[in-house]
Structure 1
Amino acid sequence: MDTLETRELRYFMAVAEELHFGRAAERLGMAQPPLSRAIQQLERRLGVSLLKRNRRGVSLTGAGEVLLHEGRAALDATTAAARRARRAGGADGPGGPRDRLALAVKAAASHELLRRLLDAYAAEPDAAEIEVLPCGMCEQEELLRDGRADVALMHTPFNSLAGFDSEPLLAEGQIAVLPARHPLAAREALSLADVSDVPGLPIARWPRHGTYPPGPGPEVHDQTQLAQLIALGRTMAVFPDSARAWLWAEHSAVPLTDAPPVVTHIAWPPHSRSLALAGLVRAAARL
């Protein structure tokens, strides 16, 4: 039998991630014996061993590694489907609210483009309600995959478009955002080499996939913290030119002549059948 129940996947994922039946059972809010029996029944149904059990603990077999990877994607897909169905279902029934789309955008990015897009789409007949979801650095992909967002504005080369359908909307240069009193702030232009190793002014580090890249710069959590640290002369950052919209008086923006262009895309899951989403993409393409 090749089908898997969502419950079985959740049980296996907990054990595969914890590599300990006791901790997995606690995480699932159940006793350990029924969890062990459920995993054994799953192995019998699939006809493969998913776990190696010995005195040292639990480890994954090759088949278990595959199911961990595929199972995570499958559970994400079911969660995303439920979230999107719940939003789309808001339009069902007499007198129900309009269809709603959740649009993920990086905080403080593409202000003017986003305003133009929302205005253009609002003028469309039967336009859906747009819920704007501001997010942190490179979080749009996660929001799209787990169903919290239906569509996103993403920026290459910083965001990956792998696995999504997309349309390019805008290309722009990059700037170095510096403390206004710093000597480099008086320059008309800079290169990437100029800003890569500035004494006393390291580049801020944003989290990627839950961890921070190595380096001397401060770890930043949000736009406000970054803006304050730049104003205090503690760090600098590199952003698309449209980031000028959120700069403080204590900041200075200097063009980077050799930085690759940043391209803003509108991106969405390839399997989407939402008419509201199709209308939003058409409005974006016209811009």
Structure 2
Amino acid sequence: MPGGADYRRVMETRELRYFIAVAEELHFGRAARRLGMAQPPLSRAIGRLERRLGATLLQRTSRSVALTEAGAVLLREGRAALEAIEAAERRTRRVALAATGHARVVLVTKAGASSELLAELLDAHAAEPGAATVDVLLCGIGEQGRLLRDGRADVALLHRPYDVMAGLDTEDLRTEGQVLVLPAGHPLTSRPHVRLAEATELPGLPGPRWPGPDGRYPDGPGPEVHDQAQLFQLIALGRTSAVLPDSCRSQLHGDLAAVPVLDAPAVTTVIAWPPHSRSAAVAGLVRTATRL
């Protein structure tokens, strides 16, 4: 049957998982152990995939395995495809749960960020009739977008201009200035304000290094920082300083001080969600957020 022939030309998710394991390990034995299978059937499966695609995906010798150009394309596209499938599975399960009267929304935010706004949002939403339960997922710097896209979160609090919002629907919630957070007793804490150039070039207090989208830290003299709690501890120890949204003042203790930065860009907190979301629970949370 023509339909049967077409079906045989379609890659299965199982084959993609096999190929990605080999492409990441560049070793059939390690990939087989990772997948919990024997090596011969894994090798045969990759061979069938190459024949079906009409492309050599891996260059094999007795000593090494290397990706071809076609293999690199399939690795990149295959990862994206599997992530999309896994995201669809997670969202479908949550929708099915909502249909039973147990609607839940997963909201992701950076640990320690927008804590006052988050508390206001959760309290206001809980007071709404029939409101869905909101599970809060705390993450590291720059991870919210990935967690939204892979389906582990339904909605996120992001901060413009620092977070990437491409491909997401957003609503602005609050805009604020920024302050320089310093160890208490630093000479600048007696000033009514500072300029951004001063705040970013403090002798003895190199700026913190945040991870990039790939999870790697840029080179530099400042300490590597994972989240805001760790950052505050490092500032109190005199290892670094940081320019942060003004709302961080509510989390500062006696060993930290904040000085307004006059010419720092304003920071806008936004609520974001995937554009294809049709969740009534997500829509309800967004409506509550925009009313705050």
Determine if the TM-score, normalized by the shorter chain, exceeds 0.5. Answer: yes
Alignment of 1:51 onto 2:55: no
CA contact (8 A) 1:104 1:152 kept: yes
Match of 1:145 in 2: 149
Q: How many residues align?
A: 284
Q: Is 2:107 the counterpart of 1:103?
A: yes
2:241 match: 236
Structure 2 match to 1:275: 280
Q: Does 1:175 align with 2:183?
A: no
Which residue of 257, 262, 269 corresponds with 1:257?
262
Alignment of 1:70-149 (within 5 A): 70-93=77-100, 98-149=102-153
Runs of 4+ in 1 over 6 A off after TM superposition: none
TM-score (norm 2): 0.91
CA RMSD of aligned residues (A): 1.8
- Say whether residues 1:155 and 2:162 are aligned partners: no
Aligned counterpart, 1:185: 189
Indicate conservation of the 8 Å contact 1:218/1:235, yes or no. Answer: yes
| Contact 1:227 1:248 (8 Å CA) reproduced | no
1:225 to 230, 236, 240: 230
Q: Residues 190 and 254 of structure 1 are in contact (CA less than 8 Å); yes or no, is this contact kept in structure 2?
A: yes
Report deviation, 1:56: 5.4
The amino acid that maps onto 1:164 is L
- Greater CA deviation, 137-146 or 34-43? 137-146
TM (norm. structure 1) is 0.92
Instruction: Find 2:217's aligned residue among 208, 212, 217.
Output: 212
1:16 corresponding residue in structure 2:
23
| Residue number in structure 2 paired with 1:247 | 252
Q: How many angstroms apart in 1 are the aligned matches of 2:75 and 2:38?
A: 22
**SS of 1:48 mapped into structure 2:** coil
Deviates more, 1:46-55 or 1:25-34: 46-55
Q: Do 2:194 and 2:261's aligned partners in 1 also have CA atoms closer than 8 Å?
A: yes
User: Cα distance, 1:69 vs. partner?
Assistant: 1.2
Displacement of 1:101: 0.3
Q: Distance in 1 between matches of 2:272 and 2:145?
A: 9
% identical aligned pairs: 64
Please, which runs of 5 or more residues in structure 2 have no aligned partner?
Answer: 1-5
Matching residue within 3, 6, 9 for 2:10: 3
Structure 1 Cα separation of the partners of residues 168 and 177 of structure 2: 24
Distance 1:16 1:165 in 2: 34
Contact 2:112/2:227 (8 A) holds in 1: no
Give 1:189's aligned amino acid. Answer: H
